[in-house]
Amino acid sequence: MCNIAGYIGKKQAAPILLDMIRRQEHYDGSAGTGIATVHNGILYSAKVVGDVETLIRETDALNFPGTIGIAHSRPGGNIQCQMHPFLDFSKSLALVANGTFATTNTDEYKAITQKIMHGHYYEGRIPDSAVPGNDPNALFSLPDGSGYHGTHSYAIRVGDFMREGASICEAMAKAFTERPNGIVSIALSKNEPDTIAIAKMDRPMSVGLIGDETYIATTQFGFPEDMRFDTVFRTPECTVCAVKAGELTITRHRIGNMHMELITADIYKKAYDLTESYLKGQKDDPKNLWDLEKMYETEWRHIWREINSDCVFYKEDRLFKPYAELSYMVLFGMHQEGKLKKVMKKRADKYDMWYFYLD
């Protein structure tokens, strides 16, 4: 699962963002890393194949100016144009996302996406040798045989709506209502340099407020451990939030065309108990997030009232279920209780990853 960070406040954003990504990247991520900041009407952006240290070594990302920014780390892909952030055509907006793009194979989704991208050739297109490639989000082809990443079409669409007069939050709501999916996304624009927009469907996103600063992370594992926030929010589903320095506003801009199961106290308890049973005594065979996902497909299938999940493009009466968010909530709860043990291991694709067990 991709990991996201955001910051807006009074400090230089870039070092804070890269520190938050570094704290999260080995839960899942580190195959590709990117960052964007805004300063004095200029959007700064960089991305690489590799982890945070690769980004720092190969670009000037650590020194990007600005007190507002977003960052991203993803677990797969091997070419730079698969990495986040993605820019709109005017290069005034940067957007990152975390999710599975559950509906990209539907004809309706493809038709809308092709209409958005028709006639456009941009610097980030994926060569024909990589289509469909090893990335399930790079499913869309252009007439010359090359392709493009699904998230890039959202950045383009948000930029289109903003040029038509929408605010960044309204534009995010319109873009994701048009093509709902199992993702969370954050974006910033040099045209609204005091705001980060969060469009959340079913993926995790936490916001911490402290004084006149705001920190954004996929999970609270990304927040500085010694920081005592005034408030920490779990952003609501199917909603766009506006984040400013020291402020979070749940806007009136809802994301439509989808339904969402909620994480209730009862659901959390069931998930906690199942995860505790699964991880207990696994010191010799610790489990990672991918192992937990396999468990979700079996033991977790029945903790919500419907078994399958998807959105309106597949079947209207099916619901999204925030498995990813619930898993992070459970793991962080165990961490706070001092139960969660972690060990770093090499994956087959060479990237490091955290593995978990309970004593």
DSSP annotation string for 136-201: TT--EE-TTS-EE-HHHHHHHHHHHHHHTT--HHHHHHHHHHHS--SEEEEEEETTEEEEEEEEES
Share of the chain above pLDDT 90, in %: 57
- Give the 3-state secondary structure of residue 53: helix
Instruction: Find all residues with CB under 8 Å of 43, minimum gap 6, and list them.
Output: 36, 37, 87, 91, 92, 93, 94, 189, 190
Give pLDDT, residue 133.
47
Which of 165, 166, 194, 158 is CA-nearest to residue 41?
A: 194
User: pLDDT tens digits, residue range 117-159?
Assistant: 665 545 455 554 444 444 444 556 555 556 677 788 899 899 9
Q: Write down how long the chain is.
A: 359
Hey, what are 297's tokens? Answer: 């497909």
User: pLDDT tens digits, residue range 234-259?
Assistant: 999 899 999 999 999 999 999 987 77
Give pLDDT, residue 239.
94
Between CA 44 and CA 35 the distance in angstroms is: 8
Domains of the chain, with CATH numbers?
A: 3-254 (3.60.20.10), 265-358 (1.10.10)
Give pLDDT, residue 323.
84
User: pLDDT tens digits, residue range 208-243?
Assistant: 999 999 999 999 999 998 899 999 999 998 999 999
Answer yes or no: are the C-beta atoms of 122 and 89 closer than 8 Å.
Answer: yes
Give pLDDT, residue 305.
67
Q: Does the structure show a pLDDT above 70 at 11?
A: yes
Give pLDDT, residue 69.
98
User: pLDDT tens digits, residue range 75-123?
Assistant: 877 788 788 999 998 999 999 999 876 555 567 667 777 677 665 545 4
Antiparallel, parallel or unpaired: β 231-234 and 192-200: unpaired
Indicate yes or no: pTM above 0.85.
yes
Answer yes or no: are the C-beta atoms of 209 and 223 closer than 8 Å.
Answer: no
At residue 83, φ and ψ (nearest 5 deg) are -90, 160
Q: Does the structure show a pLDDT above 60 at 310?
A: no
Between CA 222 and CA 225 the distance in angstroms is: 8
Name the one residue in this structure whose structure tokens are 């960044």: 168
Which of 204, 189, 197 is CA-nearest to residue 170?
A: 197
